[in-house]
Structure 1
Amino acid sequence: MDIRKRKTILFLGMALFAMFFGAGNLLLPAYLGLQTRTDWTATFAGFSLTAILAPVLAIFAVAVSGNYFTDLGSRANVKLAYILSTINVLCIGPLIALPRSGASVFEVAIKPIIPDAQPVWVCVLFFGAVMGASFSLNRITGILGKIFAPILLFFLALLIVPGLFMGSTVNIDPTIIEDRFYVGFQEGYQTMDVLAGLIFAVLLIAGANRKSYTHVKDKIEVVVKSAILAAICMLLVYGGLFYLGAHATVDAANTTRSSLLIYLATQYFGSNGVYLISILMILACITTAIALTAGSANFFERLTKGKLGYIEGVISITLVSTLLAITGVDGIIEYAAALLNFIYPVTLVLILSVLLFGRTIQNQKPYFITLIVTMVISSLRVLAGWFPNEETFTQLLNMMPFARFNLEWVIPAILTFVITCFALGRNLNRK
C-alpha cells in the first residue's frame, strides 16, 4: 500500500471516529461500567456489538452496494429504499440526534459552569457554529479528520489514561444487574450509530472519491480500512471509559451520567476537571452534529433533485434542530423511543441480509418481504408503547422469542428470508 493511500485511510478513519463519537458515546460507557462494576466486561461486549460492530457493518453494506443508503435499500425495493432513507435521516438528523446534541451541550457542558445560562442562546450559538462548519460539503472529512479528531483524542486521553494507572480499588459490592450482556447490547442502541453509519458512509465514500479512489475495489478498500481504524479507536476509548466507571468509588444509585464524568475528571484535575468534561462534550457533539447536518442536507438535496439546495438544507436542518433542542434531552427521548424501535430493526435486517447474501442472492423478493415482515413486527413494539392500556399488542409481543430483549423481530426475519428463498428456487439470481 502506497503512502498516499495510508494517509487517506488515516484521515478518513479519524474523521469517521469523530463523526461517531457523540454525546451518548461519551456519557454511556462510564455509566454502564459503574452500573455493572466487576462484571463490566460482559456489558462492554454487548455494547460493542451495537455501538461498534453494527455501525461498521453499516459502512461496509453501503460501500459494497454503491455510494448511498438508497443504493443499499434498492436491493429490496427502490421506493421502499427512499422511504426508509427518509425516516432514517429524519431520526438521525433534525428530529432526534441533532437536537439531542445541542441539548446535551447545554445540560452537560455549559450549565455546570454557567448555572444561569439560557438554553436558547447556547443552542443558537452551538447550531450557528455547526451551520458555518457544514456549508462546504467537500471539506467536512478534512476538517474532522485533520483538526477535530486529534484534539478530541487528546482530551479523551487526558481523562482516561490517569485512571488506568492510578485508579482506586473498588470496595463496593458489584451491582447486581440481570442480563448484563443484553443491557450493554440495548444501551448501544442509544448511541444511534447504526443509523448514523448509513449517513457517514456517504461522506466517507465521497472523501475516498475526492482522493481519486473511484475504482470499486480501491474505494471499498479505503472505506473498509478507514472504518476498521475508527472501530479500533472506539474500542479503546469505550473500554477505557468502562474501566473508569467500573472502578469509580461513588454510589451508583445516586450518580448521573454527567456527574460521574465530572467526578472522574476532578479526581485527577481538581476543580478544573469540570472544564475538561465541558470541552469533551462540546467537541463530541459538534463533530457529530457537523457530519449529521452535512449528510442530511446532502440526502435532501438528492431526494428533491436539487429543489432544496445543499446550503438551504443545512440552514433548514439547523433551524429545526435548534427549536427542538430548546425542549431539552428528556423531551427528545420521549418521542425518540417509538421511532427508534421501528427503524432500528428494519435497518439492521437490511444491513445484515445484504452483507451475508448480497452477492449470491440477486432477487429483490427475499429482501423486500423480509423487510415488510420486520416492519410489521417493529410496529407492534411501537403500538405497545403508544397504547399501554391495550393488552393485545403486548400479548402478541410476549408470544415471540426474545421479546424480553426487544429482539422479537430476529426469528421472524430469519424464517421469512429462508422460506422466501426456498419458494423462489432457481429464481434467486433473477433481479
Structure 2
Amino acid sequence: MRFNKETFIAGFALFSMFFGAGNLMLPPLLGLKAVDNWHLVALGFVISAVFIPLLGIFAHARLQGTMMDFAKKVSPTFSLVYCIIVYIISIALPSPRTASVTHEMAIQPFFGTSALLTSTLYFALVLVFALNRSKVLDVLGKFLSPIIFIVVLSIICIGIFSVEIPIEGISEFETPIVSGLLEGYQTFDAIGAVVVGGVVIISLRIKGEHNFERNRKLIIKSGVVAGIGLLIIYAGMIYNGALFHSEFESSVSRTTLLSGLSLKTLGSIGKVFLSILVSLACFTTAVGIVTGTADFIKGILYDSKRAYVITVILGCILGVLMGQFDVHYIIYVAVPALMFIYPITIILIVLNILSEKYTSSLVFKAVVIITIVFSIPDFLKSIGLDDFTTPILDILPLGRYSLAWLLPSLLTLLVTNLYLSLKGTSK
C-alpha cells in the first residue's frame, strides 16, 4: 500500500475532523482511573473510537455515496429518519461541545471573557470555513492537523520519558475493556465516521476527482493514516494518565487533568501549547460536523446551494446557543442519545463492510430491528429508569455492561443468513 502526499493530506484532514474535544479530555482520565490496567482500558477505547470508525471510513470508500446509503437497505424512510437523528445529535451536542471546551481551556483562563463572546467568534470562523468547503481538505490536511498531532505527541513523549515512577495501584474499573469501550462512545467517532466520510467524498468530487477506484484507494489509505494517528494519541494519552496517577485525585475533572498533564510535561509554556491544541482540535471537528450536516440537507433538497448556506448558518447559530452550557453537562446530556444511536450506527457500519452475499435487504432489516429493540433497555437505564430496566438487563447477555444489543444482533445476522442459505438450497 503506497502512501503519497495526497494520501497524507486527506488522512490528516480526516484525523483533524475526528480529533475534537472529547478525544482530548476522555483518554487521560481513563488511564488515571485504570492505573496498571491502562492497556485493557485502551483496548476497549480503541475498539469504539478507532477500529469501528475506521470501518466506517472503509464503508464510505466502498459506497461512495451519502450517509443515506448506509441504511438504504432497511428502507428509504428509515434511512432518512436515521440520518436526521444523527445530524441533529451531531450539530446539537458534539459541535457546540467543541466551543464550550475551547472557552473553558483556551480562552477563559487567559482572557476571562464570556462564553457567549467565545462561541460567537468561534462559530463565525466555522461559518467562513464551511462556506468555503472546497478548501477544507487542503487547509485542514496541510496546516492545522500536523500542528495538532505534533503538540499532542510532544505531551505524550515528554510524559513517557520524564516519569520513572512505576504504574501501581488499584483500578477503579471492574471490567476495564468494557469501560474503555463505552467511554469511547463519548468521542462520537463512529458517528463522526459516517458524517465526515461523506465530507471527504464530496470534497474530492468538488476538486474534480470522479474516478471511483482511485477515490476508493485514496479514502482507504487516508483512513489508515487517520486511524494510526488516533491510535497513537489515544493510547499515549491513556498511558500518560496512568503514569501520573499519583499526581492527581481520581475525582479530578477532565479539563483540570488535561491542563495538569500539559503543565507537568511542557512546563509553564504547556498552557499555551494546550490552548492552541484545544482550539485547533475542536475547531476542525466543528467544521467537519457543520459541513457534513449542510451537505446532507443540500442533498435531500435537490442539490440546493441555498439549502447548504442556510443549514451552515443555522448550525452555527445553534452552536452559539448550545455552547453556553458547561462541557461536563453536555457530556452528561449526550449519554442517552449515544446509548440509543451508537449501537445502530455500529451495526450499520459492520453490515456495509460485509460482502453483499451476506447483507441482503432482509438481513439489514432483521439485524437493525433487533439492534433497536435490544438497545431500548440500555437507553431507558441511561435516562434513570433503573427499576424497570435492571431486571431485564440482568437476564440479557452482556446486559450489565450496557451491551445487551450485541449478541442478539450478531445472532440475528447468522440466523438470517442461514435461513436464506437453506431457502436457496431447497430451491
Given that 2:167 and 2:243 are in contact with CA atoms closer than 8 Å, whether structure 1 keeps it comes out as: no
1:133 aligned onto 2:129: yes
Which of 129, 140, 145 lines up with 1:144 in the alignment? 140
**C-alpha displacement of 1:326:** 0.7
Aligned match of 2:403: 407
Query: Structure 1 residues 426, 173: closer, same or farther in 2, change over 3 A?
Result: closer
Aligned match of 1:365: 362
CA distance in 2 between partners of 1:183 and 1:330 (Å): 18
Aligned match of 1:232: 228
CA distance in 1 between partners of 2:160 and 2:74 (Å): 47
Given that 1:208 and 1:223 are in contact with CA atoms closer than 8 Å, whether structure 2 keeps it comes out as: no
Note the alpha carbon deviations across 1:359-410, whole angstroms, 9 max, x for none: 2135301111211121122223223333526x33332222210011111001
The AA in structure 2 aligned to 1:301 is: K
The AA in structure 2 aligned to 1:40 is: W
The AA in structure 2 aligned to 1:346 is: I
Which of 252, 255, 260 lines up with 1:263 in the alignment? 260
Given that 1:362 and 1:428 are in contact with CA atoms closer than 8 Å, whether structure 2 keeps it comes out as: no
The AA in structure 2 aligned to 1:262 is: S
Which of 62, 67, 70 lines up with 2:68 in the alignment? 70
**C-alpha displacement of 1:252:** 3.4
For 1:214, what is the secondary structure of its paired residue?
A: coil
Query: Structure 1 residues 365, 428: closer, same or farther in 2, change over 3 A?
Result: farther
CA distance in 2 between partners of 1:322 and 1:117 (Å): 15
Query: Structure 1 residues 321, 408: closer, same or farther in 2, change over 3 A?
Result: same
1:159 aligned onto 2:155: yes
1:179 aligned onto 2:200: no
- Which deviates more, 71-80 or 285-294? 71-80
Aligned match of 2:414: 418
**C-alpha displacement of 1:24:** 0.9
CA distance in 2 between partners of 1:421 and 1:254 (Å): 48
Normalising by structure 1, report the TM-score. 0.92
The AA in structure 2 aligned to 1:402 is: L
Aligned match of 1:222: 218
For 1:309, what is the secondary structure of its paired residue?
A: helix
CA distance in 1 between partners of 2:336 and 2:158 (Å): 40
Given that 2:96 and 2:322 are in contact with CA atoms closer than 8 Å, whether structure 1 keeps it comes out as: yes
CA distance in 2 between partners of 1:254 and 1:91 (Å): 28
Query: Structure 1 residues 11, 125: closer, same or farther in 2, change over 3 A?
Result: same
Note the alpha carbon deviations across 1:122-149, whole angstroms, 9 max, x for none: 1111111111111112111111101111
Aligned match of 2:27: 29
Which of 214, 217, 238 lines up with 1:242 in the alignment? 238
Given that 1:8 and 1:208 are in contact with CA atoms closer than 8 Å, whether structure 2 keeps it comes out as: no
Given that 1:208 and 1:222 are in contact with CA atoms closer than 8 Å, whether structure 2 keeps it comes out as: no
CA distance in 2 between partners of 1:427 and 1:219 (Å): 37
For 2:385, what is the secondary structure of its paired residue?
A: coil
Aligned match of 2:328: 330
How many residue pairs were aligned? 423
Given that 1:144 and 1:287 are in contact with CA atoms closer than 8 Å, whether structure 2 keeps it comes out as: yes
Work out the percentage of aligned pairs sharing the same amino acid.
28
The AA in structure 2 aligned to 1:283 is: L
Given that 1:56 and 1:228 are in contact with CA atoms closer than 8 Å, whether structure 2 keeps it comes out as: yes
Once the two structures are superposed, the pairs formed by residues 266-415 of structure 1 within 5 Å of their partners are 266-306=263-303, 309-356=307-354, 358-361=355-358, 363-386=360-383, 388=385, 391-415=387-411
Note the alpha carbon deviations across 1:54-73, whole angstroms, 9 max, x for none: 10111111221232111121
CA distance in 1 between partners of 2:303 and 2:255 (Å): 41
Normalising by structure 2, report the TM-score. 0.93
For 2:187, what is the secondary structure of its paired residue?
A: coil
**C-alpha displacement of 1:427:** 6.7
CA distance in 1 between partners of 2:382 and 2:169 (Å): 35
Note the alpha carbon deviations across 1:304-347, whole angstroms, 9 max, x for none: 33465211111000101211111222332343222111110011
CA distance in 1 between partners of 2:420 and 2:261 (Å): 58
CA distance in 1 between partners of 2:5 and 2:209 (Å): 13
Given that 2:378 and 2:404 are in contact with CA atoms closer than 8 Å, whether structure 1 keeps it comes out as: no
Note the alpha carbon deviations across 1:37-83, whole angstroms, 9 max, x for none: 22211111111111110101111112212321111211322221111
CA distance in 2 between partners of 1:175 and 1:422 (Å): 42
Given that 1:103 and 1:329 are in contact with CA atoms closer than 8 Å, whether structure 2 keeps it comes out as: yes
Given that 1:66 and 1:72 are in contact with CA atoms closer than 8 Å, whether structure 2 keeps it comes out as: no
Query: Structure 1 residues 350, 132: closer, same or farther in 2, change over 3 A?
Result: same
Note the alpha carbon deviations across 1:196-233, whole angstroms, 9 max, x for none: 11011112223444555433322211111110011111
Given that 1:109 and 1:278 are in contact with CA atoms closer than 8 Å, whether structure 2 keeps it comes out as: yes
**C-alpha displacement of 1:34:** 1.4
The AA in structure 2 aligned to 1:341 is: M
Aligned match of 1:87: 85
CA distance in 2 between partners of 1:426 and 1:219 (Å): 38
- Cα RMSD of the aligned pairs, angstroms, is 2.2
Which of 95, 101, 104 lines up with 2:101 in the alignment? 104
